[in-house]
Amino acid sequence: MPVLGIDEVGRGPLAGPLVIGAVILPSTEKPWFKDLKDSKQLTAKKREVLSELILEESTTGLGWVPANELDEIGISKALALATRRAVKSIQTLHVPFSQIIIDGKVNFLKHTPLENYVSTCVKADSLIREVSAASIIAKVARDHYMIELANKYPEYNFDKHVGYGTKAHVAAIYKYGLTPEHRKSFGPCKSLSGYQSPKSPKKNTTTTGKAAESAVANYLEQLGHTIIARNHKTFFYEIDIISIKEKQIYFTEVKYRKSNLRGSGLDAITPEKLAQMHFAALSYLKYQNTKYQSFNPLLAVASVTGSNYNQIKWFPLPE
């Protein structure tokens, strides 16, 4: 019996839809099967060719959740909803399958009649060709959507970054504001829109956080930095520490953990968080302290561990 492969595209961007691909490959071996791999490992041209072949010769489905719906229900529920929409489109074609393989660790069909048919697999998009095919058709479909958005909103260059939080995209958000396609619950979009989840109230800096920031500030001063701001807050963003050294201005995000076993501070810098940090730095230099506009701005992260806040790792992030 055939396998139904499932994969998602568009989990982390600041704009555009989340898309789930679902594919049952033909039962007979095809020459193009050997080219199937994770869509990120293929060139755009190769993805286009393979997507066309998959759509012509396989049983396929796509599940879409647009940005506004994603904001309403959150990313976890959006992933489950998009998966169910993709599988439903397969079921309407009445093609049988014996197993569903979902890329990752989460069974997005839990609490449905298909729950027990699911196997999850990390890196399935590189290991299982049905999942590879699903990743390809989802990626190509979403890219085409973002190209259409680029025609509608040319100042954002959606065809270049496909909605991810690049410096250029964040700068465009900062300059032009949000479109209806932006995810108002994500990163700098959240700050600009004033969005606040009722389940995730705005956090206040705790005593622990303040102690960690003080430890990092002292550490930076020992490295020759001059601290010009700490826990700098506006309505739109927050920066833990701002410091200058040798015509460079650093915007440092401080992360405290009781133990190194939970990972480094860099682990917490998701693409969404990085985009928010870019936005905060740009905003600070333009509106809050214009005298430092000639300085080279750098983002940095500090990881603080230990009950006495005495284990500090600080490093600038790659530009």
122 and 254 in a single domain? The answer is no
The pLDDT value given to residue 199: 52
**pLDDT score for 286:** 83
Q: Tell me if 198 is assigned to some domain.
A: no
Asked if residue 215 and residue 187 are part of one domain, the reply reads: no
Are 18 and 65 within one domain?
Answer: yes
Average pLDDT (51-63) is 98
Are residues 185 and 224 located together in one domain of the fold?
no
Could you read off the pLDDT of 152-201 as tens digits, one per residue? 999 999 999 999 999 899 889 888 889 999 999 987 788 776 666 655 44
Residue 196 included in any domain: no
pLDDT at 188: 78
pLDDT digits (tens, 9 = 90+) for 67-108: 999 999 999 999 999 999 999 999 999 999 999 999 999 999
Q: What is the mean pLDDT of the chain?
A: 89
Among candidate residues 132, 160, 191, the one where a domain is terminated:
191
In a domain, 197, yes or no: no
Residue where a domain stops, chosen among 161, 191, 221: 191
Mean pLDDT over 240-258 rounds to 91
Residues 34 and 93 in one domain: yes
Collect all residues with Cβ–Cβ distance below 8 Å to 203 and sequence separation of at least 6. none
Domain identity same for 258 and 139: no
What CATH number should be reported for the domain holding residue 239? 3.40.1350.10
Residue 45 pLDDT > 70: yes
- Looking at the structure, tell me whether residues 104 and 215 fall in a common domain: no
Query: Are 106 and 120 contacting, i.e. CB atoms less than 8 angstroms apart?
Result: yes
Local confidence band at 203 (pLDDT 50, 70, 90 cut-offs): very low
Q: What is the pLDDT of residue 234?
A: 74
Q: Range with the lowest mean pLDDT among 3-7, 148-152, 246-250, 277-281? A: 277-281
Whether residues 154 and 27 fall in one domain = yes
Residue 180 belongs to domain spanning: 3-191
107, two tokens:
């069974």
Q: In this structure, is residue 93 part of a structural domain?
A: yes
* C-alpha dist (Å) from residue 10 to 75, 144, 266, 301: 10, 13, 22, 26
What DSSP letter does each residue of the chain carry, written as one string? --EEEEEEE-SS-SBS-EEEEEEE--SS--GGGGG---GGGS-HHHHHHHHHHHHHHSEEEEEEE-HHHHHHH-HHHHHHHHHHHHHHHHHTTT---SEEEEESS--TTTTSTTGGGEEEETTHHHH-HHHHHHHHHHHHHHHHHHHHHHHHSGGG-HHHHTT---HHHHHHHHHH---TTB-TTSHHHHHHHT---TTSPPPPPPHHHHHHHHHHHHHHHHTT-EEEEEEEE-SS-EEEEEEEETTEEEEEEEEEES-GGG--GGGG--HHHHHHHHHHHHHIIIII-GGGTTSEEEEEEEEEESTTS-EEEEEEPP-
State pTM to two decimals: 0.65
201 assigned to some structural domain: no
Whether residue 131 is contained in a domain is answered as yes
Cα Dmax for the chain? 68
Domain boundary among 191, 218, 239: 191
Give a yes or no: residue 202 inside a domain: no
Q: Is residue 151 part of a domain?
A: yes
Domain shared by 239 and 305, yes or no: yes
- 151 in the same domain as 14: yes
d(CA 92, CA 115): 18
Identify the CA nearest to 22 among candidates 111, 116, 97, 127: 97
Same domain, 179 and 231: no
> Residue 63 maps to which CATH number?
3.30.420.10
Q: Are residues 220 and 170 in the same domain?
A: no
Question: How many domains are contained in the chain?
Answer: 2
